[in-house]
Amino acid sequence: MSFYLTVTDVSYFAIMYTIFHFELREKNNKLILLLKAENWLSYRDTNRKELEFKDIKEKPLEEQLGDIIYKMFVVGNRQYAEYKIEELIEERKWEERERERRLEQLRKGELEEVKELTQAVSDWDKARKIREFANELEIKINEFDDEQQKELLFRWLKWARDKADWIDPLVEEEDEFLGKSVSLFERILR
């Protein structure tokens, strides 16, 4: 019947943003040093490495200390370099997302400008049609003989032409009830 007694001590320390958890065991009167390295800056959870050092007859663990520290610095340096590469990749991804976001804002702004342009053209066309209609109406009004009717119709005609001016984006007009219109020039220059 075999019986093993294992004594375990666990602690950690950091080299170049790499945390080294170490566990010192004793098995069959020989020391085993287990190092688990993990870069705590890493974006990925896969940046881990394990190192194991054993007491050997020719070179006990205490005499391997220089090699152990050297290997820890090599691992720490490598993991830090991998982290810096990850960081550059993440920065590029962020910059690309930011560039796409800005392009989307520009696209939305451009669509808004196109929408304002088509609205201005539509308003201009309505004003033009109202004026054409008013010109034809004026010809018909002049055919009336009754001066009172003519006066009422000419007042309405003036009202229609004032509304055409208020609607027209190329004219800045103030209406008693509708307020001040905003000309296309004012919209462009703001």
pLDDT in tens, 56-90: 888 888 899 999 999 999 998 988 888 888 899 99
Q: Which domain holds residue 132?
A: 108-189
Q: Is residue 87 part of a domain?
A: no
Whichever domain contains 65, its CATH number is 3.10.450
Specify whether 69 is located in the same domain as 133.
no
Q: What is the pLDDT of residue 2?
A: 45
The count of domains in the chain is 2
Specify whether 183 is located in the same domain as 135.
yes
Look at residues 4, 39, 48 and name the one whose alpha carbon lies nearest to residue 25: 4
* Residue 37 exposed, middle or buried by CB count within 10 Å (0-12, 13-18, 19+): buried
Q: What is the pLDDT of residues 29-49, one digit of tens each?
A: 888 888 888 887 776 666 688
Q: Is residue 85 part of a domain?
A: no
Q: What is the pLDDT of residue 108?
A: 94
Q: Is residue 99 part of a domain?
A: no
